[in-house]
Amino acid sequence: MNTADILLSNALIVTQDENRSILPNSSIVIKGNRIIAIGPSMEIDPQYSASKTVDLRGKIVFPGLINTHDHLFQVATKGLGEDMSVQDWVYVVTAPTAANISSDEMYTVCLTGCLELIHCGVTSLIDMNYMAQTFAHHDENIHALVDSGLRSIYTSIISDYGLQYGIPEYLMRPTDWFIDQYDQLITKYPPTDRLAVWMAVGAPWTVSGEGLDKSLAFSKRTGTPMVMHIGENWVDNHCSKDRFGMNSVPYLEKIGFLRPELLAIHCVTLDDEDIALFVKNNVKVSYNPVSNMYLGNGIPPMMKMRDAGLRIGLGVDGAGSNNSQDMIETLKMAALLQKGAAKDPSVINAQQVLDWATLGGAQILGLEDQIGSLEVGKQADLFVIAPNSAKVVPIHDPVATLVYSCGQENVEMTIANGVILMQDGIIQHLDEAEILRQCQEMSLALAERCGSDSKVKRTWKGNRA
Ligand SMILES: [Zn+2]
């Protein structure tokens, strides 16, 4: 008899392997952080003695979801930013929050965001901090990522420009200051299975030409991948024409910015020429449908990008432009937004959405040989759906159930890196109730302190515990 750590038995397993195999009455065996066996329970179970066995009869196992874009600290701003343009929203809500948040608050609100992601079956994410006022802000954001148990990429925005477009001066520093921060970050946090630091360049309209050049040089010299908001709304091209006489994507191509090591966030305003340049340079794309709708930015041409062969992942974006971190909701919105835009329900199906949220995300992280599907040798990142509410019953097609019917309440178990982070809907390694209590209190105090609630006409004074 072989020994193992976890045996998940009698499940319906959506593997996301090359054939998109769905295995009934099957088991997954985990040892350390790896999947060491997968197959029919009748064959697998007698071969293994596991420290922990979980009977998943009637339940569905999926590969962990991969959230390719977030600003976890914005959890503090839920409910403050509705009905504003991006520029107003940055100026009124997110910038003051980023500038005034303490490192303790950073830890708690980021961890709260991670808790919701775990409740959604997310096992990996790319987070983007704004302006870290002290190095402790980086540290506490990273501590939250590590303590959450999620596989994480940490980034922090470089911004040295954009006063005339609404970026407050207090969020800017000379590019050299940011580069020095990144030098320290990649030294202090060398890449591991669980955590890596990448670079974030805010957007074409928040970085100077010199800033773009210096950031690119550092990225190339150190082999650090980059993320950047590109074409989030009309402002991108407007400002680029203003400054450089051409749209932002052709300009970025001209200066050598478009490369396989670049993840472009949003891409709402991309035209055919832009998409061709992305294809030519193998740029990766993060699709954030809820945020795009929330901020009234428009509908990214995902079907064109998919048909052109670009690598695509899904993101929830920060809670400031979403009001939650609900990756399950994002799956449904990702499909419906494209169907509605095309006036054609056949342009995208549930399988495509799941592919983006798993295999596509894994490609974006550069971990396609490690995560994104449930196969022997891969890392044990997965979640379990239970038919425990009227919302999902009956289940005819597990993939359609996940994308169109599920809510967070149906996610019963989440395992990342071989560790059970949630079981029976209960977070295993953190005191969730206490973290939520602290997040509520801290977020109200922060909003009052920095004025990020100035456009919210409160008739009450918050719900202090
Ligand atoms: Zn963003």
Ligand 1 centre distance from Cα of residue 61 (Å): 30
DSSP character at residue 150:
-
Ligand 1 centre distance from Cα of residue 97 (Å): 15
Q: Where in the chain is the domain with CATH 2.30.40.10?
A: 2-63+377-427
Mean pLDDT of the 201-221 span = 95
Q: Calculate the dihedral angle through the C-alpha atoms of 107, 110, 112, 114, rounding to the nearest 10 degrees.
A: -130
Q: Which stretch of 160-164, 390-394, 439-443 has the lowest confidence by average pLDDT?
A: 160-164
**Strand bridging mode 262-266 / 151-158:** unpaired
Q: Locate tokens 């929050």: which residue?
A: 97
Q: Locate tokens 């064959």: which residue?
A: 43
Confirm if 27 and 9 have CB atoms less than 8 A apart: yes
Q: Where does the pLDDT of residue 458 fall: very low under 50, low under 70, confident under 90, or very high at 90 and above? A: low
Helix and strand numbers (H, E) in the chain are 17, 18
Q: Which stretch of 165-169, 316-320, 342-346, 456-460 has the lowest confidence by average pLDDT?
A: 456-460
Q: Which stretch of 45-49, 128-132, 308-312 has the lowest confidence by average pLDDT?
A: 128-132
Quick check: 29 pLDDT over 50? Answer: yes
Based on the number of CB atoms within 10 Å of its own CB, is 459 exposed (0-12), middle (13-18) or buried (19 or more)?
exposed
Ligand 1 centre distance from Cα of residue 55 (Å): 39
Mean pLDDT of the 65-74 span = 98
CA proximity to 32, closest of 419, 372, 362? 419
Ligand 1 centre distance from Cα of residue 407 (Å): 24
Q: Where does the pLDDT of residue 143 fall: very low under 50, low under 70, confident under 90, or very high at 90 and above? A: very high
Quick check: 464 pLDDT over 80? Answer: no
Fold of 2-63+377-427: Urease, subunit C; domain 1 (2.30.40)
CB-side neighbour CA atoms (13 Å) of 8: 33
**Residues contacting residue 307 through CB under 8 Å, at least 6 positions apart:** none
pLDDT at 465: 42
Ligand 1 centre distance from Cα of residue 1 (Å): 49
Ligand 1 centre distance from Cα of residue 327 (Å): 15
Mean pLDDT of the 300-312 span = 98
pTM here is 0.97
**Residues contacting residue 202 through CB under 8 Å, at least 6 positions apart:** 157, 158, 159, 162, 167, 228, 229
Report whether CATH 3.40.50.2000 matches the domain 65-365.
no
Ligand 1 centre distance from Cα of residue 291 (Å): 8
Ligand 1 centre distance from Cα of residue 204 (Å): 13
Q: Locate tokens 């966030």: which residue?
A: 265
**What is the C-alpha to C-alpha distance for residues 124 and 149, in angstroms, rounded to an integer?**
9
Helices 175-188 and 135-148: angle between axes, nearest 10 degrees: 40
CA proximity to 110, closest of 325, 286, 316? 325
Ligand 1 centre distance from Cα of residue 316 (Å): 9
Q: Where in the chain is the domain with CATH 3.20.20.140?
A: 65-365
Mean pLDDT of the 138-167 span = 95
Ligand 1 centre distance from Cα of residue 449 (Å): 24
Ligand 1 centre distance from Cα of residue 71 (Å): 6
428-451 exposure pattern, b = at least 16 Cβ within 10 A, e = fewer: eebebeebbebbbbbbbebbeebe
